[in-house]
A and B are shown apart, each in its own frame.
Chain A
């Protein structure tokens, strides 16, 4: 019964997402905003890996997002224009690399110190983008031309075509997330969020897990960023600023940290709310701020967290930990 309902829910989501360019105009919004919803959803998912599943306050994911954005933009402009897929991959790699560079430092601290370090290092990336203006364009930003899928001979991608490209990537990444949270690795992350000391007592190297989580988070954010700059045909330093990170964290919390689809729901609500409100009133910032306050006070588990019970129980986590622990022991003891 539950399975058919879940399938029905997924089908509904599929129909909604596949038909987005059609009904987006009907509800008075442009298609590229729909693309942005998918991409911010992925950025929030990257935050979710750390905040929702590992229980770490990550306030620097916009830096990975932004490095991915510049990665694909600079690649398209300087090295190989007109190759969208390669640009996406390069952006993803740069985003991953940006997290990989920081991870050895970030894993050494926890709690609020971890959070402050993510902010500090994120801002270092922001200032590099800002100051290295010969390469990045600095404050003025970096223009890129419309992406071509099949090389310079093909037509540049228009809004709807690019949306479907992003949708394919979105589905792939969300599928990856689905597998990730169910894998032993994912369950170990959740165990860390419950009680890291216990995990370490079971001979599991939590530092290594957190390292991997950071790098994966950087990869997902980097993919989102690299597609975003190609969507708006522009890369700019504010994409990396800690305020942008704060927005991504908000989306995650709003939708439900620790749930698979929570970040996406949060991204939709937050982005649409900001977009619609700013068209209606100049004081829209008050409403967005109030949304933050209300969410924290009244909906801290977020919309999906409020509605559903977790699919994975503590027993599942314990069972997995036992397996991982046994594996670890087997490696230590001979035979």
Chain B
């Protein structure tokens, strides 16, 4: 009796182990590369606090894929996006990137908007020796101290964001500033960016607070702001933090008395702010009404609005540009050899969904492209509640990015021999 029970136990254990192990091929979709398709791996934050901007990035990416496929694909092959969710967790981002490279054998990878994920995946791509184009992660190190010849970045660096806005803010509002900065590398580098301009612009800092990421209650900081009476409140927190900060600044009456500005304002969080708090003068990385006479961009905007019933955001633009440029580089390199593709991207100049031009710089692989300074119009303009930015000025890329000579000291791209 005892023996047969143990046998049953063992058989059950073995069956479970076996079932678990062998059952997985049935569950996992087979996605290896066929001759006719070109797979591009996407590692993105589809769940978690960044789900909405991530969704918009993927929308832009998919539109670029559709556009290329309509033209016959890249080198005769249709493009297919293999999208993986990294759940806003660096460990998962690394595993998914490795899965895409080793199992799905994607020749190139794009994505990430979380700073930590961007750096972690950048390292993975470097180890795999394959190109990685960051769509939306802003941390300086990706094109700075931890740059790799395999990594490129579409969205602006924090330096560009501060240098596109600092002068305009001081001219418009005055020199007494109060900083509210998120307390992590992204925030610190924004702060450093403005600090580097303080002497030249004659800025007097009347207060500066580093707020923990995910702060829900800004009241303590806001009462300090009221006491300090700055000419301008510089808000550098993003996402939900920005939403909370603005809502609460309004309840303290700050928004009526003190102008608010910052290096980065995005549609996603600002659309979530109620009208009475939809204010501010922000650095905007791309706006759908700034396409000028760029036909491709105009078409992108109108098709996006038809398909999704809302205007494309800067995130959508990052996604589109990233895929579009990656495909172009593969075309120019006449294949997916990593060195050739990266060489094709490096130094590539084009029009990033606008009239102005941009270049993926050879020194650090950062896309150097224009940036806008906009005023937020509460409730939208021209009858469109989503059209909330009024463009004030545009700065060309080379006026706002890190000088090349500086970057040479920080970023050493060691190309393979």
Contact = CB atoms under 8 A, between A and B. Distances in A.
Contact present between A and B (CB < 8 A): yes
Interface of A: 1-2, 5-6, 8-9, 12-13, 16, 23, 25-33, 36, 131, 133, 137-141, 143, 146, 159, 228, 232-234, 236, 238-239, 265, 268-269, 272, 275-276, 278-280, 282, 284-285, 303-304, 307-308
B89 A307 contact: no
A1 B4 CA distance: 9
A235 to B, nearest CB: 9
A32 B95 contact: yes
Interface in B1-59: 2-3, 6-7, 9-10, 12-14, 16-17, 20-22, 24-25, 27-31, 46-47
A140 B139 contact: yes
B44 to A, nearest CB: 10
A32 B14 CA distance: 24
A313 to B, nearest CB: 13
Interface stretch (B118-126, B156-164, B331-339, B360-368): B118-126
Contact of B120 (A12, A234, A303): A234
A324 B415 CA distance: 66
B94 A234 contact: yes
B28 A138 contact: no
B46 A282 contact: yes
Contacts of A280: 27, 29
A210 to B, nearest CB: 30
B116 interface: yes
Nearest to A23: B21
B198 interface: no
Contacts of A27: 21-22, 24-25, 28
Contacts of B29: 279-280
B391 to A, nearest CB: 32
A318 B21 CA distance: 39
Nearest to A237: B116
B185 interface: yes
Contacts of B21: 16, 23, 27
Given A1-B6, A6-B10, A133-B185, A29 B28 contact: yes
Given A28-B30, A234-B123, 19 more contacts: A1-B7, A2-B2, A6-B6, A27-B24, A28-B25, A28-B31, A33-B98, A139-B116, A140-B119, A140-B141, A140-B186, A141-B116, A159-B98, A234-B116, A238-B90, A282-B46, A282-B85, A284-B47, A304-B13
A9 B46 contact: no
Contacts of B139: 140
B410 to A, nearest CB: 15
Contacts of A30: 95, 98-99, 101-103
19 contacts: A29-B103, A33-B99, A139-B213, A140-B185, A143-B119, A232-B90, A232-B91, A233-B94, A234-B91, A234-B94, A234-B120, A236-B116, A238-B89, A272-B24, A278-B84, A279-B85, A284-B47, A304-B13, A307-B16
Contacts of A131: 183
B143 interface: no
A26 B9 CA distance: 28
Interface residues of B, number: 53
B184 A159 contact: no
Contacts of B10: 5-6, 8-9
A23 B85 CA distance: 24
Contact of B95 (A9, A232, A236, A282): A232
A140 B248 CA distance: 27
Nearest to B140: A140
A27 B22 CA distance: 8
B13 A9 contact: yes
B49 to A, nearest CB: 12
A106 B28 CA distance: 43
Contacts of B85: 278-279, 282, 284
Contacts of A2: 2-3, 6
Interface string B166-205: 0000000000000000011110100000000000000000
Contacts of B16: 265, 303, 307
A141 B90 contact: yes
Contacts of A233: 94, 120, 123-124, 127
A280 B103 CA distance: 15
A8 B113 CA distance: 48
A208 B22 CA distance: 45
B99 A29 contact: yes
Contacts of A304: 13
